Chain A
């Protein structure tokens, strides 16, 4: 069975600082990995996805993530945080066929001035 672990339910950074949100996955087959962002009382917006092409994936709003098979990780980074980045971030894994997404528990990013 697939699973996703997001370390840290809350991450706090200062505006302008590096953002690092951690995601580790478990999958018996080559995974497809996704990062979504959720603002309060809204649905999920796709930030980026890895689908077996380039291991370094660039997404919207300056975010990127690197797929590391040896570490079973797909951490999300952004060089410089903005106040508008404050939100809940979900990592998700899917098997090829994309029938189901398994979500991590989410990480709330807090950005202080």
Chain B
């Protein structure tokens, strides 16, 4: 149980284009989803917290107009990187925290999406 998927696993795009990454909780409902960014050989940095049906809360220094987050249902959150540039190339990982029961105190992570902007 507590499986989180991400799609796509890997994406290469041209500079200036937009890329959408999906995060789904497959076997539980997630009131809260988190988006992280991880640079090579570094730790995870929280970008934003997404609550179902409300606006995302962005961490300091993260541009909300560049990283659009939508959490339209209890099982799906999307991150759109708008007008991507090479410096946006990174490993993006989402996590989900459950609605009830044993899933409420733990974040379960997706497998990550490797974004490369040419």
Which residue numbers of A lie inside 8 Å of B, CB to CB? 32, 34, 36, 41-46, 49, 51, 90, 98-101, 103-106
Instruction: Name B's interface SS.
Output: strand
Distance in Å from the Cβ of B104 to the closest Cβ of chain A?
A: 7
- Could you tell me how many residues of chain B have their Cβ less than 8 Å away from some Cβ of chain A? 23
Structural contact, A43 and B111, CB atoms closer than 8 A: yes
The residue that B6 contacts in the complex, of A36, A43, A45, A49, with Cβ under 8 A, is A43
Which residue numbers of B lie inside 8 Å of A, CB to CB? 4, 6, 32, 34, 42-44, 46, 49, 91, 93, 95, 97, 104-112, 114
**How far does the alpha carbon of A84 sit from the alpha carbon of B49 in the complex, in Å?**
33
**How far does the alpha carbon of A103 sit from the alpha carbon of B46 in the complex, in Å?**
9
Structural contact, B97 and A41, CB atoms closer than 8 A: no
Structural contact, A49 and B105, CB atoms closer than 8 A: yes
The residue that A100 contacts in the complex, of B6, B46, B93, B105, with Cβ under 8 A, is B46
